[in-house]
Structures are given as structure tokens and as C-alpha cells.
Chains A and B, each alone.
Chain A
Amino acid sequence: MWVFLATEVMFFGGLFTAYILYRNFYLSAFETGSRLLNVKIGAANTAVLLCSSLTMALGVRAAQLGKKKLLITFLVLTLLLGLTFIGVKLGLEWRHDYLEGFAPGVHWTFHGTDSRHLELFFCFYFFLTGIHALHMVIGAGILTVLIIMAGRGRFSPQRYNPVEVSGLYWHFVDIVWIFLYPLLYLIGGRY
């Protein structure tokens, strides 16, 4: 799993590098773009995701100790928090951005000197958050399978590897967001 996560670091790393480079090219447009995002929702969603990482870690601990009911409880909590994150991200934020006319190529209403560069910022925004949300959806699928397996009593203190490995993946997706949140929402200068 660690080796897979290393490849994921490269995958997101390429996107981050591209973002840094273009942010450097078109600094003022990218700062405007950051200011157009809702930092309150971003911060709240960060907290939700961190919370889900805590429940996942506690879930792995329950599996290590062989506490089946506790394991299922924590896995369900993690899944619910993950779904909350995806719901807020896609249902609330993306919907809002779309209605405001910030969707490049689909619904773009911004006109101005920086328009093309701002469009580029939103391309990065939708692509980065979209890829991250896709990882979350995959994570939610994995959690569902884990919950079913745990319900059938497939894990024990001797055999809980799937829980631990899925936990690593979940935490990794959390880490990606830990970097996405400041890069997209914060460093535009909100003062």
C-alpha cells in the first residue's frame, strides 16, 4: 500500500506542480479565484475530513483489539463523514460555483481582462477537487466492503490487514486535502 501511495504522491504531485507554475504565471487572476471560493465551507469540510480520519484510526484500533461492534461503528461513522464531505463538496460548493458562472466551458459568466486566466484557475480547481472527490468515492466503496466483511466476522486481531491498508488509503486522501485546502482557498490573500 505504501508503494501505491508513493505513486499517488507523484500523480497529485504533477498536478500540484502545474498549479504552482500557473499560479506563478497569472498570480493576480489566481488570487482573485481563491477569494471567490467560500472559505467557511472549505474550513468546515476540512474539519469533517479530519474527523473521518480520527474515526478511521480508531476503527483500525478496534480491529487490532478484536472489538467487532466498535469496529463497525467507527467504519460506519467514517463512511458517513466521508459522504458528508462529498455531499458538501459536490452538492453545495460545485453547485454554487456553477450557478455563479464559474464553470469553465460549461457556464462561464465572468468577463474582464483576467477572464481567461481566471478560467484557468477554475479548471485547476474543478480538476483537483474532482480527482480528490473521486478518490473519496472509491474510499467510500472500500469502506462499504469493509463494513460488510466486518459484519460477517472476517477480521480478528490476527487478521485485520484489509482494515489497516484501507485506513492508510483513507488517511492519504485526507493528506491530499490538507494541501489542497490552503493552496486553493487560502493563499489568495483574504485580507
Chain B
Amino acid sequence: MVGHVVHKRLYILVFAALIGLTALTTGVAFIDLGKWNTLAALAIAVCKASLVVLFFMHLRWSSGLMRMVLLAAFVWFAILVALTLSDEFTRQWTPVPSSWQGQVQQQAR
């Protein structure tokens, strides 16, 4: 059951890209881009993780079943983040009825 044997050079190229992206993300952190700093850091992290998954973990040559498992993991993670944050960010949108005000103040951070 020999799987796909990848050429050595491809691994070294991927590794060089990973090191390059690490240098890039570290460098970008020292430049003031406002909100874009966080976005850039996360975007680069996603690129690096994709490189590792596709090449080092052989997902590029794996069956659809493996891809489904990984996809499921990330869909569930996306649900977790999206629902948690959407709850948090929208709490202030509707006015609180005055009779609840006391309780809300008690629970306030």
C-alpha cells in the first residue's frame, strides 16, 4: 500500500515557503496597519496551515473521505466561532426593557 511518494524537492520548497511566510508574518507585525494586522496574521497562518495539510500531510493525494473529515472539522469550528461571536457582537443591538435594567447591570462585566 505504497501511497504517493513525493519528490524530496517539493518538500524542501514547501518548507522554504513556510519559513518565508513566518518571516513575513513576523515582519508585518511590526508595521502599523490598524485592523489589517490581525487579518494579515490570520491569513498568513491559514496559508501556512494549508501548505502543511496539502503537502506534508498528503491531503493533495488523499481520498475524498479524508477531505470530508477535515472539511467537517473546519465547518464545525466555523459554526462554533460564528455563533459565539454573533451572540457577543449583537447583544447591544436591541434596547433592554427598563424592568430588566437592574438585572443587566448586575451581570455586566
Contact = CB atoms under 8 A, between A and B. Distances in A.
B69 A6 contact: yes
Contacts of A46: 22
A158 B2 CA distance: 6
Consensus secondary structure, chain B interface:
helix
A43 interface: yes
A118 to B, nearest CB: 16
Contact-size category for B = 35 or more
Given A54-B12, A57-B11, A61-B6, A182 B77 contact: no
Interface in A49-105: 50-51, 53-54, 56-58, 61, 64-65
Contacts of B38: 187
A113 interface: no
Interface in B65-85: 66, 69-70, 72-74, 76-77, 80-81, 84-85
A10 B80 contact: yes
B73 A5 contact: yes
A187 B45 CA distance: 12
A138 interface: no
A56 B22 CA distance: 19
A1 to B, nearest CB: 9
A20 B81 contact: yes
B3 A2 contact: no
A10 B29 CA distance: 27
A181 B72 CA distance: 24
Interface string B1-35: 11101101001101100110011011001111000
Contact of B11 (A58, A157, A179, A189): A58
13 contacts: A9-B76, A21-B84, A43-B22, A53-B52, A64-B3, A161-B1, A164-B3, A175-B52, A185-B29, A186-B25, A186-B37, A189-B29, A189-B37
Interface of B: 1-3, 5-6, 8, 11-12, 14-15, 18-19, 22-23, 25-26, 29-32, 37-38, 41-42, 44-45, 48-49, 52-53, 55-57, 66, 69-70, 72-74, 76-77, 80-81, 84-85, 88, 109
Interface of A: 2-3, 5-6, 9-10, 13-14, 16-17, 20-21, 24-25, 39, 43, 46-47, 50-51, 53-54, 56-58, 61, 64-65, 157-158, 161, 164, 167-168, 171-172, 174-175, 178-179, 181-183, 185-187, 189-191
